[in-house]
Amino acid sequence: MTTPRGAKQRTEEGGVAFVGAGPGDPGLLTLRAVEVLGGADVVVIDEPAHRAMLAYAPGIVEIIDVGVDDEGVTLTPSARGRRLVQAAKGGRRVVRLLGGDPFTHATGADEALACAKAGVPFEVVAGVATAISVATHAGIPLVTGRRRSVEIFDVGGKIDLKSCTADTVLLTGVTEQLGHLAGALVDAGRVPSTPVAVVTSGSTVEQQTVVSTLGGVAADVRAAKLEAPFVVIVGDTIEHRDTLSWFETKALFGWRVLVPRTKEQAGQLSSALRRSGAVPEEVPTISVEPPRNPQQIDKAVRGMVEGRYEWIAFTSVNALRAVKEKLTAYGLDARALSGLKVAAVGEKTADALRSWGIEPDLVPSGEQSAVGLLNDWPPYDEVLDPINRVFLPRADIATETLAAGLTDMGWEVDDVTAYRTVRAAPPPAETRDAIKTGKFDAVAFTSSSTVRNLVGIAGKPHASTVVACIGPQTAKTAEEHGLRVDVLAPEPSVEALAEALAQFGLSRRLAMVEAGEPVLKPSQRRRASARRKNAQ
């Protein structure tokens, strides 16, 4: 970090990194921002959206919110600066997240000056400027061949729009003064028919855009019930939005997708859904817990270390996690599997093994399931195989397909309960109501147990909700519970499931556009149909 001129050189590592957090999407953080967050002792924030970026910080990091004081009053720049100086004492590494770029943020420069005055080392990590990135995500260029000038105003303070002559005007931090600002631009010489775009929650999957004119924008935004603050774009370049809109036209943009999974496993599927523009909502339906009687898994793990087995077969990431935890408890690591042949039921489990430093000897070449694993598993050969025993750690509710198949091939199988899956507590009443009344656009089932448990704790999804399943067995279970399966992943992985749902959403969107119909989400279509029926 840079040491301010005149400050004493510190011997201990530490200081403040002012990090541009961009417009709110964690994916727009720079590589340097992620690197600095990864080494933080303290992270200082002032916006709720910044909490999503804490995923890049250590799990034990201290979080300080400098948005308001204990009475709910907004902190002044000098008060924020004092808190940063205090947080950096003792050589702690402090990361201050600031919306947009640190030096375009309203208090960023003042906070940095406070650190400089106190002799606290600091660095500044540039970020994606909010106004520019929001316009980009709205599909609105700020300059074109004919329109080359841009002016940006933060309306948090006094601004003079009378002298503004730029082709394109950006206004940030707009709230209830939208109508006044539109009128001021008209008074400054712009015609009431000048195009205006109002964007809220820019760059996030909650982004909404209203296109209007200076004369009608205030009424149109009220009618659309957009929530402030807004970024407002004024100028003729808005005419390109229909052609250049790339973000809000994503396959699942704005879809509210129910993700019924264990809390530990939801992240990857939710991330994949967000890439297609969806708003995933994770509802834990099962909880992974140790077996009621741990003696069986303890004995098997000891036997594995002692050379009792020829093979170990992992049928899930949870089974691998259970074995790892047992080895860790004994003070052992991946080297305890040396000499063993290792099988993985699919690429997801294989990747988890590789991240542990183990390359699996067998992964199904075809269907990634117990059946696929059996199809590739070699039969026991008393000449080639010195030991005929297989260690099979699995869930308490897993089927016996693999164990039975291996036995038929001449192997002796220690079929061991490594973990239990139990039904989670019901979600909040609001979530249960949303599930039953069709407020979710889709639900993504990743196993038969998630189907059974979701129906058990929250009820059946509404008929208007698109049902996506990770594989044939999951689809069969869904149908047995009276659900219509709309999407079936071509292979059993969360990435394939998310992609299949996105393809469904895209085909649906294109069909509506081709038919000249408004593009509505499944939840909107149901409500619109109900209104038409009631009107008849």
**Rounded CA separation 479/393 (Å):** 29
Close Cβ partners of 535 (under 8 Å, ≥ 6 residues apart): none
Average pLDDT over every residue of 168-192: 94
Q: Which strand (E) or helix (H) includes residue 436?
A: helix 429-437
Between CA 191 and CA 395 the distance in angstroms is 68
pLDDT in the model for residue 347? 87
3-class DSSP assignment, residue 15: strand
SS3 state at 178: helix
Angstrom distance (rounded) from CA 353 to CA 317:
8
Burial 361-385 (b: 16+ CB within 10 A, else e): ebbbeebbbbebbbeebeebeeeeb
pLDDT band at 24 (very low <50, low <70, confident <90, very high): confident
Residue 93 scores a pLDDT above 50:
yes
CA–CA gap between residue 40 and residue 42 (Å, rounded): 5
Structure tokens, 422: 């139990």
Q: Which residue has the tokens 């809220």?
A: 200
> What is the reported pLDDT for 348?
84
Residues contacting residue 297 through CB under 8 Å, at least 6 positions apart: 291, 322, 323, 326, 393, 416, 417, 418
Please report the pLDDT score of residue 264 as a whole number: 56
Confidence (pLDDT) at 314: 95
Q: What would the pLDDT profile of 266-294 be if each residue is shown by its tens digit?
A: 678 988 998 999 999 999 887 788 898 88
pLDDT at 353 over 90: yes
The pLDDT-based confidence of 421 (bands split at 50, 70, 90) is confident
Question: Residue 135: in which H helix or E strand, if any?
Answer: helix 130-137
Domains 256-283+426-530 and 294-423 share a fold: yes
| Residue 55 dihedral angles phi and psi, to the nearest 5° | -60, -25
Largest CA distance in the chain: 94
In Å, what is the CA distance from 212 to each residue of 187, 323, 413?
Answer: 18, 60, 69
Helix (H, G, I), strand (E, B) or coil at 372: helix
Provide the percentage of residues in the chain whose pLDDT is more than 70. 95
Backbone torsions φ then ψ of 467, nearest 5 degrees: -105, 120
Contact 441, 523 (CB under 8 A): yes
pLDDT at 536: 46
Mean pLDDT of 84-98: 95
CATH number of 256-283+426-530: 3.40.50.10090
DSSP 214-227: TTTHHHHHHHHTPP
DSSP 519: -
Domain parsing of the chain, residue ranges = 16-128, 131-244, 256-283+426-530, 294-423
Average pLDDT over the chain, rounded to an integer: 90
Q: What is the mean pLDDT of residues 300-322?
A: 92
Percentage of the chain lying above the pLDDT 90 cut: 71
pLDDT at 531: 43
Architecture of the 16-128 domain:
3-Layer(aba) Sandwich (3.40)
- CATH code at 294-423: 3.40.50.10090
pLDDT tens string 202-227: 888 888 999 999 999 999 999 999 99
Yes or no: is domain 131-244 CATH 1.10.730.10? no
Q: What is the pLDDT of residues 245-257, one digit of tens each?
A: 999 999 999 999 9
- Nearest of 4, 37, 30, 31 to residue 17 by alpha carbon: 37
Contact between 254 and 229 under an 8 Å Cβ cutoff? The reply is: no
